């Protein structure tokens, strides 16, 4: 159909994260509308959105209160900026709310529009701060292999995934990467989780010593790795890592872009894993992705040298037209209020045992290898076939037929449903996965 949305999409758009030539042939699935945990394609077929869009639609689709707040704010003050000694209510209100609900030592918020922008800014702030402290040599940033922090030049460099580096001339040479805490894949024979975590920390320390502790400013980490394939930290991991960072005066940036706002069963994963970051990065569930919005939360200790420096040189020369956008921050505040009112953090904690045990049961399927997760974030590992990643891709495709969307990353099927999901819907989602596994197994046996 030359005028169909599918055909016009192929004709007029260049998409992110696809093989362009393949896309020109296959096109994409047009999603038309959403309702609760469901989305509907252009043929009217219904899917459970098992990844909440891109790990982000906490409130599900069609939350009218967010639409109403956006409409009201658009009429009252659709735009204003936060530059040059100007400010506005929605940004103030959301900053106050975030400071109130986050760990006590994080005392200030700054807004951007995406996770990448936020992480990019944090890198710049870290460099600015090192200059302010008279330590211009302390600039290197440690990321982790398989870590994901976005795709802008600096954030994409901290990211540790080859797809985001290859042919982009990344990473920048100030960015270095330490090991992934992937206990399931990387543990040695008989190694306990705690011993594995100690080995990860020892490798980090070795790298710091080899590079020179005085050259390293910060480490970035997702409390639970998301886009790397839902890699849950093994026992003791964050305690061991934080002890090393503290020893060498290296800042810790907790990238809670996926984990924040209840995903792990607590408001922030830093609470789940006892992490005390200098900077916390938030996005996605901050607005349920109804508006582009991200925030960084910083401690006084992080802020003070930056404030002194900008005083000395006259201005903190960074900001976006949309920093703290009034419609985005108004929607963000309403979104956080609804998360609280509906006790969606509690819902995640209450449904986690069911969610994780259904995943563990699925892991017993002949096609599956293992499962892992925390809160309402989990992965089912599929046994590899001859062609790498083909097995999980086949199961993910079969799941689409059963009306379940997930994300296949390597051999892992990743699940991160809207936080409003019910017990019944968790069961329906995993029933669909079970049927898909059976169908793929039968087709392969035939």
Q: Is 115 in the site for ligand PLP (CB under 6 A)?
A: yes
Give the nearer residue to ligand PLP in terms of CB position, either 148 or 302.
Answer: 148
Kindly write out the interface string for residues 8-47 of this chain, putting x where it contacts ligand PLP by CB under 6 A and - elsewhere.
----------------------------------------
- Determine the 3-state secondary structure of 231 from DSSP: strand
State the nearest-atom distance from the C-beta of 399 to ligand PLP, in Å: 21
The edge-to-edge listing of strands for the beta sheet with 404-405 is 31-35, 38-41, 46-49, 404-405
List the structure tokens of 183.
């206990």
Can you point out the beta strands (E) in 191-240?
216-221
State the nearest-atom distance from the C-beta of 31 to ligand PLP, in Å: 18
State the nearest-atom distance from the C-beta of 227 to ligand PLP, in Å: 5
Q: Is 335 in the site for ligand PLP (CB under 6 A)?
A: no
Q: Is 226 in the site for ligand PLP (CB under 6 A)?
A: yes
User: Applying CB under 6 A, which of residues 69, 158, 161, 227 lies at the interface with ligand PLP?
Assistant: 227
Region near ligand PLP per CB under 6 A, out of 90-98, 200-208, 229-237, 252-260: 252-260
Q: Is 116 in the site for ligand PLP (CB under 6 A)?
A: yes
Q: How far apart are CA 55 and CA 46, in angstroms?
A: 19
| Cβ contact 222:147 at 8 Å | yes
| Cβ contact 131:211 at 8 Å | no
Size of the site for ligand PLP (CB under 6 A): 15
Give the nearer residue to ligand PLP in terms of CB position, either 165 or 199.
Answer: 165
| For helices 423-445 and 344-362, angle between their N-to-C axes, nearest 10 degrees | 20
Region near ligand PLP per CB under 6 A, out of 29-37, 232-240, 250-258, 378-386: 250-258
Region near ligand PLP per CB under 6 A, out of 28-36, 108-116, 330-338, 411-419: 108-116
Q: Is 114 in the site for ligand PLP (CB under 6 A)?
A: yes
User: Applying CB under 6 A, which of residues 180, 283, 408, 425 lies at the interface with ligand PLP?
Assistant: 283
Q: Is 150 in the site for ligand PLP (CB under 6 A)?
A: yes
Give the nearer residue to ligand PLP in terms of CB position, either 282 or 398.
Answer: 282
- Determine the 3-state secondary structure of 277 from DSSP: coil
Q: How far apart are CA 336 and CA 242, in angstroms?
A: 29
Region near ligand PLP per CB under 6 A, out of 112-120, 237-245, 333-341, 355-363: 112-120
Radius of gyration of the chain (CA): 22
| Cβ contact 152:117 at 8 Å | yes
Q: Is 252 in the site for ligand PLP (CB under 6 A)?
A: no
User: Applying CB under 6 A, which of residues 110, 129, 146, 149 lies at the interface with ligand PLP?
Assistant: 149
- Cα distances (Å, whole numbers) of residue 353 to 20, 36, 57: 40, 22, 21
């699940």: which residue's tokens?
A: 415
Comparing C-alpha atoms, which of 245, 181, 236, 191 is closest to residue 218? 245
Evaluated on CA atoms 52, 57, 62, 63, the torsion sign reads positive
Region near ligand PLP per CB under 6 A, out of 123-131, 168-176, 229-237, 251-259: 251-259
State the nearest-atom distance from the C-beta of 257 to ligand PLP, in Å: 3
The set of residues, in sequence order, having a beta carbon less than 8 Å from that of 244 and lying 6+ positions away, is 201, 204, 205, 208, 250
Comparing C-alpha atoms, which of 41, 35, 43 is closest to residue 60? 35
DSSP state of 285: G
> Footprint of ligand PLP on this chain (CB under 6 A)?
54, 114-116, 119, 148-150, 222, 226-227, 255, 257-258, 283
């Amino acid at each position: 159909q030359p005028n169909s949305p599918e055909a016009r999409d192929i004709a007029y758009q260049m998409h992110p994260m696809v093989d362009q030539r393949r896309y020109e042939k296959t096109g994409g699935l047009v999603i038309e509308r959403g309702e609760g945990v469901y989305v509907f394609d252009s043929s009217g077929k219904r899917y459970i959105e098992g990844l909440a869009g891109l790990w982000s639609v906490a409130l599900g689709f069609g939350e009218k209160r967010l639409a109403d707040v956006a409409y009201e704010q658009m009429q009252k003050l659709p735009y204003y900026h936060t530059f040059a000694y100007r400010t506005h209510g929605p940004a103030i209100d959301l900053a106050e709310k975030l400071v109130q609900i986050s760990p006590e030592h994080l005392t200030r918020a700054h807004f951007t529009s995406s996770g990448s922008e936020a992480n990019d800014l944090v890198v710049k702030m870290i460099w600015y701060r090192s200059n302010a402290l008279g330590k211009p040599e302390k600039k290197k940033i440690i990321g982790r292999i398989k870590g994901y922090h976005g795709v802008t030049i600096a954030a994409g460099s901290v990211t540790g995934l080859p797809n985001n580096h290859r042919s982009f001339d990344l990473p920048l040479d100030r960015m270095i990467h330490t090991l992934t805490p992937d206990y399931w894949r990387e543990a040695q024979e008989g190694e306990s989780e705690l011993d594995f975590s100690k080995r990860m920390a020892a490798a980090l320390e070795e790298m710091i010593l080899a590079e020179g502790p005085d050259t390293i400013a910060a480490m970035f980490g997702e409390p639970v790795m998301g886009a790397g394939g839902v890699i849950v930290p093994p026992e003791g991991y964050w305690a061991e890592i934080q002890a090393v960072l503290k020893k060498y005066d290296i800042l810790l940036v907790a990238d809670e872009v996926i984990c924040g706002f209840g995903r792990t069963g607590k408001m922030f994963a830093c609470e789940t894993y006892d992490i005390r970051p200098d900077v916390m990065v938030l996005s996605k569930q901050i607005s349920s992705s109804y508006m582009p919005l991200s925030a960084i939360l910083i401690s006084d200790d992080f802020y003070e040298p930056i404030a002194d420096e900008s005083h000395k040189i006259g201005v903190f020369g960074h900001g976006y037209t949309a920093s703290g956008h009034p419609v985005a921050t108004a929607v963000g505040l309403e979104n956080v209020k609804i998360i609280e009112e509906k006790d969606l953090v509690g819902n995640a904690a209450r449904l986690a045992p069911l969610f994780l045990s259904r995943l563990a049961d699925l892991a017993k399927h002949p096609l599956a290898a293992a499962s892992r997760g925390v809160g309402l974030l989990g992965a089912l590992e599929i046994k590899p076939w001859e062609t790498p990643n083909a097995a999980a891709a086949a199961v993910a495709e079969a799941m689409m037929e059963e009306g379940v969307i997930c994300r296949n990353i390597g051999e892992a099927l990743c699940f991160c449903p809207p936080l409003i999901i019910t017990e019944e819907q968790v069961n329906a989602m995993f029933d669909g996965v079970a049927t898909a596994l059976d169908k793929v197994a039968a087709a392969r046996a035939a």
